[in-house]
Amino acid sequence: MTMEKPFAITLNPGSSLANKTGSWRTERPVYVDRLPPCNVQCPAGEDIQGWLFHAESGNYLEAWQHLVQDNPFPSIMGRVCYHSCEGQCNRGQIDAPVGINSVERFLGDEALKHGWKLPEPAAESGKHVLVVGAGPSGMSAAYQLRRLGHRVTVKEAGPLMGGMMRFGIPKYRLPREVLEAEMQRIVAMGVTVELGVKVDNIADTMAQGKFDAAFLAVGAHIAKRTYIPAKDSAHILDAVSVLRSMEGEDQPMLGRRVVVYGGGNTAIDVARTAKRLGATEAIIVYRRNREKMPAHDFEVEEALQEGVMVKWLSTIKQADGGTLTVEKMVLDDKGNPQPTGEFESLEADSLVLALGQDVDLSLLEGVQGLEVNNGVVQVDPLTMMTGHPGLFAGGDMVPADRNVTIAVGHGKKAAHHIDAWLRGESVAAVVKHALASFERINSWYYSDAPKTVRPQLEIARRTSSFDEVQGGLTESNALFEARRCLSCGNCFECDNCYGVCPDNAVIKLGPGKRFEFNYDYCKGCGICAAECPCGAIDMVAEES
């Protein structure tokens, strides 16, 4: 090409784009996705970061729709879930964890307020699945199975849906209209629920109803007993019946001085319920100390604030009329309580035993291949299937910690495996991303913001009524709280890599599409990786 050039100029002007500086590189940046610690922790397998992402932009409907893919009960969860996710939240190492649970409740309550609908079921599969028990596990399974296009019949022995959420969790923690609304939403999807129908023999029921598979989630409703020598006049009840009778017309007569024996969440629930029923004193007797107590610390704290008293390191030896004999204990080297031989007496109008619950397994008699250990049904932890093909189980009747969220997770997992089993397939194992650890977070970039504290009912008011103790977040508080999420390990399109590259070697693909590296020019300096707030860029050595 010839061109008129100025004096002493022999070459045409060129662009530096001809110089591919990517050849300098010894390390290349690579975008990665990491598993956020909240998602890892969630027993129901929620994509917490995923739904918070939508909530951050105020898109609550989309956030809720994302959430209910995994858990159809956000309003219930937002009240009774122990939110162990928050304990793992990386933001906790900066200021305080994101209030995931309160945002979940806000979304759940928005859905109830606006009547948002659960997703439509897929095309009918022609299969019919039996679910035994309309508790959190059974209804979670029913929801997922129905979404997958299966016909679902739930048989529930009790008069109402909810299981332990209704007959175990007090109203001040879970208002019944919330529970009922989230249960009815599943019925509205076309799930048949038969109330007051106890399955006495699973094999007979399966055969009579021509069911293709079954999910058992009967819960653990039989109160454990312990031997306490008692005279006739002693008024001894069990926690399960006390909490269950709270649902009926006749409230239990506990008297003015109530002693609760046990250290779990149920013991706390009973003591707080007793206070609300008018007891002047509610005393929990527990054989170990507070550190060893299985009840969640925030519930212990709320109970103590309400005036519940606890006798630590004590066992009940005898009940004689209105007098209990209590022995002091000490913890040995292994943390087990040992008797001291020191006794004292405690006046009580009633004694409520909250010593755990057993499962009624009578419906399983005669089923081939089942294995029962320690009073619970053994299942394959990967599929939730029992030793009997086509018979799955979850919730409190299988080996696991017992809480609502775990039960919901069991139901979801079992549903997916039932679906695969019905099609003669197995669920492909998903390769999980590596953990998004705090060390990978560049915390400089996040605004300083303390956790929004949910309003609590005044203590005086809540001990005299069964009004809900935890209030909800307002819209602006919920938005604020959602925006505290760091998006650990997953690109949230902050444009930092795109901005900080000295070589313009990051290509912005547009909203929702993230970024791409232009390796023709990337020199591998690593600024993008160092300045990525959420740790979604790795530096990888180039092959020599």
Partner 1 sequence: MNAPVKFYQTGTFTVGNRLLEADQRSVQSSEARSNSLNSGHRACQGCGEALGARYVVDAAMRATGNQLIAANATGCLEVFSTPYPETSWQLPWIHSLFGNAAAVGTGIAAALKVKAHKAGKALSEVRVIAQGGDGGTTDIGFGCLSGMFERNDDVLYICYDNEAYMNTGVQRSSATPMGARTATTMAVGAHPGAPAGQGKNLPLIAMAHEIPYVATATVADLHDLEAKVEKAMSIRGARYLHVLVPCPLGWGSASHDTVLLARLARETGIFPVFEAEHGEVTSVTKIRHHVPVEDYLKLQKRFAHLFGTPGQPEMVAHIQADADRNIRRFKLLDETGE
Segment interacting with partner 1 (CB under 8 A) among 42-50, 317-325, 422-430, 496-504: 496-504
Paired tokens of 351: 């004694």
Q: Does 523 bind partner 1 (CB under 8 A)?
A: yes
Say how many Å lie between the first and final Cα of the chain, rounded. Answer: 39
> Binding string, 309-348, against partner 1, x = CB under 8 A?
----------------------------------------
Residue 97 makes contact with partner 1 by CB under 8 A: no
The stretch among 273-281, 374-382, 421-429, 489-497 that binds partner 1 (CB under 8 A) is 489-497
Token representation of residue 233: 């006049």
Q: How many residues bind partner 1 (CB under 8 A)?
A: 57
- Closer of 105 and 276 to partner 1 (Cβ): 105
In terms of DSSP H, where are the helices of 453-501? 459-463, 475-482, 496-500
Q: Which of 444, 460, 543, 544 binds partner 1 (CB under 8 A)?
A: 444
Q: Which is nearer to partner 1, 52 or 193 (CB)?
A: 52
* Closest by CA position to 317, among listed 240, 233, 226, 254: 226
Question: Does residue 95 belong to the site contacting partner 1 (CB under 8 A)?
Answer: no
Build a one-symbol-per-residue string for 139-158: x at contacts with partner 1 by CB under 8 A, - elsewhere.
--------------------
Could you tell me which of 154, 115, 43, 74 has the C-alpha nearest to residue 381? 43
DSSP 382: T
Minimal distance, residue 83 CB to partner 1, in Å: 21
Phi, psi angles (nearest 5°) of residue 515: -135, 170
- 7 φ, ψ (degrees, to nearest 5): -55, 135
Tokens standing for residue 115: 């009547």
Separation CA 451–CA 456 (nearest Å): 15
- Token readout for 159 is 């008069």
Q: How far is C-alpha 313 from the geometric centre of its chain's CA atoms?
A: 31
Q: Which of 131, 72, 121 shows the shortest CA–CA distance to 405?
A: 72
φ and ψ at residue 325, rounded to 5 degrees? -100, 125
Q: Which is nearer to partner 1, 246 or 482 (CB)?
A: 482
Binding partner 1 (rule: CB under 8 A), the pick from 376, 525, 535, 536 is: 525
Q: Which one of the spans 70-78, 312-320, 337-345, 531-539 is the region binding partner 1 (CB under 8 A)?
A: 531-539
**Which residue lies nearer to partner 1 by CB, 61 or 530?**
530
Instruction: State both tokens at 164.
Output: 């332990």
Q: Which of 179, 319, 385, 479 binds partner 1 (CB under 8 A)?
A: 479
- One residue of 249, 250, 510, 543 binding partner 1 per CB under 8 A: 510
Q: Binding partner 1 by CB under 8 A: which of 14, 115, 341, 369?
A: 14
112: contact with partner 1 by CB under 8 A? no
Which residue in 364, 351, 302 sits closest to 324, CA to CA?
351
Task: Say whether residue 492 binds partner 1 (CB under 8 A).
Answer: yes
Interface segment toward partner 1; rule CB under 8 A; list 217-225, 289-297, 344-352, 502-510? 502-510
State the residue for tokens 């008069």: 159
- β-pairing verdict for 128-132 and 151-156: parallel
For 59, list phi and psi in degrees, rounded to 5. Answer: -95, 75
At closest approach, how far in Å is the CB of 341 from partner 1? 57
Tell me if 446 contacts partner 1 by CB under 8 A.
Answer: yes
**Which of these ranges, 41-49, 116-124, 143-151, 494-502, lies near partner 1 under the rule CB under 8 A?**
494-502
How many Cβ atoms from other residues are within 10 Å of residue 33's Cβ? 12
**Which residues, at least 6 apart from 197, have a Cβ–Cβ distance to it below 8 Å?**
155, 156, 157
Judged by CB under 8 A, does residue 485 bind partner 1?
yes
Which residues of this chain interact with partner 1, rule CB under 8 A? 11-21, 24, 56-57, 444-447, 449, 474-476, 479-480, 483-485, 487, 492-496, 498-505, 508, 510-511, 518, 520-521, 523-527, 529-531, 533, 539
